Structure 1
Amino acid sequence: MQDFLLHRKNRSYIICHIATWQLYFFAIFRGVMRQLSIFDKVLTQVNDALTTVFTVSSDARKSPAEKIDDVVLTEKEKKNSMGYMRVNHTGEVCAQALYRGQSIGCRSEKTRRMLEQSCIEETDHLAWTKQRLSELNGKTSYLNIFFYGNAFFIGAVASLVGDRWSLGFVSETEIQVAAHLEKHLEKLSMADLKSRAIVSQMQIEEMEHDKKAVAAGAVELPLPIKQLMQLHAKVMTTLAYWI
């Protein structure tokens, strides 16, 4: 009888021991999978960054300039157009990064979907400006990858303070971008109808994104933050125009 009880005790110990190890390995497996999931997300973000900076989307809508006949521009007009289209392209690179940075820290799934949709729509602008640069025999900014990283960081930090503040950054960014585009229209040659058509359409859509952000609950940012954003934009536009 004693041997039987001892056998049952040993058997129960072995079963419990096996179950413990199973739970242990399951916990390790979950930890590894969680790490892989984070690693996958990092790889996705890196891939998105490289795709944004170095490629052109094949899914973009047709450019507003597609059906406009090109005209011969003077060297001065051409150089000026290249500079402003390069600035606009870099601005769209930053917009992609900002939206993606903000989306990773969203509390609300609705806000995340809105940011992701805006990011997709901005992809068209990215393609249009790059296409126009190619037509002008111009190049995109060599600093785009650095601008992308900086904008992504700003977006990620903004997302940490809450969705409404994050949307406030979107709203203010779009307002400032639309203002920049208005200045570009004033400075672009009247003869460069293609560039002007692209900038005009971009301006309309940037204001639509601002309205969506406000409708989603964006708060107005304090004046010091707006001024800091303007200073940051000034540095970006100045460097991108030339480099």
Structure 2
Amino acid sequence: MSQAEVLAMLADRIISNVDNALRTLAGQSPGSGRANPAKDTRDALLRPWQRRRAGRLMRVNHTGEVMAQALYTGQAAGTGDPQLRSALLQARREEEDHLRWCEDRLRELRSRPSLLGPLWYGVGWGMGFAAARRGRGSNLGLVVAVEHLVEKHLDEHLAVLPPEDERSRHILEQMRQDEIAHAHQAETLGAQALPVWSESALKALSKIMTRGALWV
């Protein structure tokens, strides 16, 4: 491959990464085309406190999906394995569905995304790229660790959502199924367990992000 071709490929990847960041933060992610899981579910008349609670929870989930976009984008940018890059980008497209569904529900609940989205996108991209540079096993190991963490958060949110809020519940249940599938795929492709310190740091970061998104 000539130097010109290498530079062209690098420029294309930079443009693609910037494009994903802008689309994610502007709420313009196309997704894979799947229908919103709540599309056939009647929107219950929630009490004001129930709507505020559901809105805060969905804001946390939306922030998590912003970070997921950044992670997968950074991981794909950092790997030199075409097969792995393709798998990561496919998972990212499915995560775009989650982002779009959360945005839809936030509007319905008269809530908004977190104002800290750009910060978490930058943090997520850096984490993903760094994991990719450590090799295939570490790259996929980050997918497994993050998806298991998200699954746990979704279980917690499903347990405390207002019982009447079936639209949010259907969205979170489908997201949970997808996260489990992504973790399983990463394990199949050769994920390696992250070091204990890395998993601990990831959990601490998740707590900071969750608490911040609840209010900001």
Q: Is the 8 A contact 1:52 1:93 kept in 2?
A: yes
Q: Is the 8 A contact 1:171 1:210 kept in 2?
A: yes
Which residue does the alignment assign to 1:236? 209
Q: Please identify the structure whose Cα radius of gyration is greater.
A: 1
Q: Is the 8 A contact 1:56 1:130 kept in 2?
A: no
CA-atom RMSD, angstroms? 1.5
Q: Is the 8 A contact 1:107 1:162 kept in 2?
A: no
TM-score normalised over the length of structure 2: 0.94
**CA 1:32–1:134 in structure 2 vs 1: closer, same or farther (change >3 Å)?**
same
Which residue does the alignment assign to 1:215? 188
Query: Which secondary structure does the structure 2 equivalent of 1:96 belong to?
Result: helix
Structure 1: state its 5+ residue gaps: 1-29
Per-residue displacement from partner, 1:176-233 (whole Å, max 9, x unpaired)?
0000000001111111000011111111110010000000000111222111100001
Which residue does the alignment assign to 1:38? 10
Q: Which amino acid aligns with 2:14?
A: V
Q: Which amino acid aligns with 1:128?
A: W
TM-score normalised over the length of structure 1: 0.84
- Report deviation, 1:44: 2.3
Q: Which amino acid aligns with 1:169?
A: L
Which residue does the alignment assign to 2:176? 203
Is 1:154 the equivalent of 2:127?
A: yes
Q: Is the 8 A contact 2:41 2:167 kept in 1?
A: yes
Per-residue displacement from partner, 1:126-162 (whole Å, max 9, x unpaired)?
1100000011111111111111011000000001110
Q: Is the 8 A contact 1:99 1:116 kept in 2?
A: yes
Query: Which secondary structure does the structure 2 equivalent of 1:104 belong to?
Result: helix
- Report deviation, 1:31: 5.4
Q: Which amino acid aligns with 2:37?
A: P
Aligned length: 214
Name the CA distance, whole Å, in 2 between partners of 1:37 and 1:110: 17
* Match for residue 22 of structure 2 among 34, 40, 50: 50
Name the CA distance, whole Å, in 2 between partners of 1:215 and 1:33: 33
Name the CA distance, whole Å, in 1 between partners of 2:71 and 2:40: 31
Q: Is the 8 A contact 1:159 1:166 kept in 2?
A: yes
- Report deviation, 1:32: 6.2
- Report deviation, 1:34: 4.8
Q: Which amino acid aligns with 2:201?
A: L
Q: Is the 8 A contact 1:170 1:213 kept in 2?
A: yes
Name the CA distance, whole Å, in 2 between partners of 1:68 and 1:186: 19
Query: Which secondary structure does the structure 2 equivalent of 1:182 belong to?
Result: helix
- Report deviation, 1:58: 4.5
Q: Which amino acid aligns with 2:155?
A: E
Whose relative contact order is higher, 1 or 2, with alpha carbons under 8 Å and at least 6 apart?
2
Which residue does the alignment assign to 1:9? none
Structure 2: state its 5+ residue gaps: none
Name the CA distance, whole Å, in 2 between partners of 1:56 and 1:136: 19
Which residue does the alignment assign to 2:71? 98
